[in-house]
Structure 1
């Protein structure tokens, strides 16, 4: 949908691009540095420019040190939880490009489909939860079209909670990303690589084009009728494929009971019974939902989440940010989303004060 003219201009003048044009890369005074930080934080959290409360403290010199921003970051998160979620979650989960398309998924506009994880994230933020329940919450947040898609009671207006266990991987948003259009089943390879690269901040380098012909030959040699675990085991038996598949196959296979739109599956698309219990690293699971719950509450995922939040504010590589955070993982493990965001936002500020690139 098109933005109203006033909102469009607000977003333009508050945007990082506009700030890049009007603010010096390295401000000359603490006050100018604070002014730049105030504008960037306001846009990153609320999608707009500095409000009156922050402007008053800015003029009074209370924001000349990064610590002065903490109450304002908390206030903005408390005032605009949904707005922050809509700004942060789509790029974090890789949903931004689809959210901007005018297409539909199962009859629901993609902009609504891709907003659902953000609405759930906002609810967890308000509830004081850590990020863990995002992967397997005991409620959903839906508007009327999504409620009808999931066969839930539709809210009379806006977005509303609906009770019932649901996983992030069963949302329409991630179904749109991973469900194979030919089989109607989620693709475990795409799911697994997504978990490892985006949710765990590992750095898997996929094979270069130099070996693509060899990979094509291996794919053509896969025997007919193999179940997904058998097919993936066959690929791992070849050195060219094993280096990547060993790292993410087991994550994708652990989620196989979760079908499109959260349907519980008992067989693969081949008709073979699904095997959804076992171990992946330190996670020992009895079902796909159990695996999603444990994954959400794992130290590795929560550290990666903190790294993704820091990268949202400071820029750079989330993989590098995650490497730096590992030594301090205890500080973010189990921490409320609000505390993780506040910590990441404040840690991002001194980078510019020291004249370093964001």
Structure 2
């Protein structure tokens, strides 16, 4: 007797799937492989090379099709091999820019090049037909058209790739890959939270200062329980209001940041301080000098110290002072959060001391003090940092001294628009 049968298989809303019909389009010429092949190639090459295609280029690929055809049983199988060749071309793999005949003048990118860069930036993909047509018509660079296309692209589900890829690079979320102390059921939720938070700020056009502090969190049921938030159900992420008592808000207190900047057993103020300087303020500390003395964990006096006391003792050594004076105050301010980002008020029955002092004698009273100080004194620095990170991501290269004026201009525009 059969009680139940469970069948698992790929589900497609249509057959052949859209990924197939987008390439092998409907045509009255399907019966003629030479004519239909040219139609497929014209459309495919225009899309993946992101520009109009010449007759000579189509001829070259049709010659390849003719060469391959005897080795395959169907037209589609043969054409797949030909299309794979197109995808191996630098035209597809790289963002190209036409060469200038006048080496003394800078050259603006063309409309088609703009369409390519915009789609790679916001979709991590190729331009769609609408974007390509506007570029071919010379309309994409018009301010109102460009703004409209950016809004359309951000509303498209493909913009999720931008949120994920940028946030992973900006915050260094790849650091989670080497973290072993996160419970397996929570790992995906912890990794997704900062991306979902960024997506909320982006799609709702909120202030970038929400990254420093916000009166809401973006969580699912699992993370809500981890943070002590109640009456939140289901696996999907959503914006929920929070109070000061939750000790959350912004990205500084998300579990991903706190967990990947710990040593597995406890917090790691050094890692958290370096992360803060590098990712949030874009002011990375210098590399440590050679022969830096390690903390002697065999010393009974050292073992009696709290983590903060050990850090202060280590910082008092001459070789360590210059770097640690810059790093430690930021990291110590996170001491109320353990290795998994859970808020705590004591460690081994001793009250947590998360108070520190910056080099300018500014006192940071825990994470609340960090947020207050950043919002009161470091908004310009944070704005410039995020503009720098976003511009480098958009251009796909490290920024140089020559980019400084543009970063200054973009930062000023951002601040004028109230972030």
Q: TM-score over 0.5 for the alignment?
A: yes
Tell whether 2:413 aligns with 1:331. yes
Kindly report the root-mean-square deviation, in angstroms, between the aligned alpha carbons of the 2 structures: 4.1
Task: Tell me, yes or no, if the aligned pair for 1:303 and 1:333 is still in contact at 8 Å.
Answer: no
Task: Tell me, yes or no, if the aligned pair for 1:150 and 1:261 is still in contact at 8 Å.
Answer: no
**Distance (whole Å) between structure 2 residues aligned to residue 162 and residue 106 of structure 1:** 24
- Where structure 1 has 5 or more consecutive residues not aligned to the other structure, the ranges are 338-358
Tell whether 2:283 aligns with 1:199. no
In the alignment, what sits opposite 1:86?
164
The one of 108, 115, 121 equivalent to 2:185 is 108
In the alignment, what sits opposite 1:289?
368
Deviation, structure 1 residue 230: 2.2
**Distance (whole Å) between structure 1 residues aligned to residue 254 and residue 242 of structure 2:** 13
Deviation, structure 1 residue 87: 2.2
In the alignment, what sits opposite 1:243?
322
Q: Which has the higher contact order (CA 8 A, sep 6+)?
A: 1
TM-score using structure 1 length: 0.74
**Distance (whole Å) between structure 1 residues aligned to residue 352 and residue 179 of structure 2:** 37
Larger radius of gyration: 2
- C-alpha distance 273-59 of structure 1, shift in aligned 2 (>3 A): closer
The one of 262, 270, 273 equivalent to 1:179 is 262
Task: Tell me, yes or no, if the aligned pair for 1:108 and 1:146 is still in contact at 8 Å.
Answer: no
- C-alpha distance 318-145 of structure 1, shift in aligned 2 (>3 A): farther
In the alignment, what sits opposite 2:396?
315
**Distance (whole Å) between structure 1 residues aligned to residue 135 and residue 206 of structure 2:** 31
Count of aligned positions: 326
Tell whether 2:253 aligns with 1:170. yes
- Where structure 2 has 5 or more consecutive residues not aligned to the other structure, the ranges are 1-9, 24-46, 51-86, 101-106
Deviation, structure 1 residue 310: 0.5
- C-alpha distance 308-31 of structure 1, shift in aligned 2 (>3 A): closer
Deviation, structure 1 residue 325: 6.5
Structure 2 SS opposite 1:333? helix
Q: Map 1:126-137; keep pairs closer than 5 Å.
A: 126-137=203-214
**Distance (whole Å) between structure 2 residues aligned to residue 138 and residue 295 of structure 1:** 16
Task: Tell me, yes or no, if the aligned pair for 1:255 and 1:289 is still in contact at 8 Å.
Answer: no
**Distance (whole Å) between structure 1 residues aligned to residue 256 and residue 283 of structure 2:** 22
TM-score using structure 2 length: 0.64
In the alignment, what sits opposite 1:26?
97
Structure 2 SS opposite 1:250? helix
- C-alpha distance 268-279 of structure 1, shift in aligned 2 (>3 A): farther
In the alignment, what sits opposite 1:257?
336
**Distance (whole Å) between structure 1 residues aligned to residue 287 and residue 161 of structure 2:** 35
**Distance (whole Å) between structure 1 residues aligned to residue 310 and residue 145 of structure 2:** 56
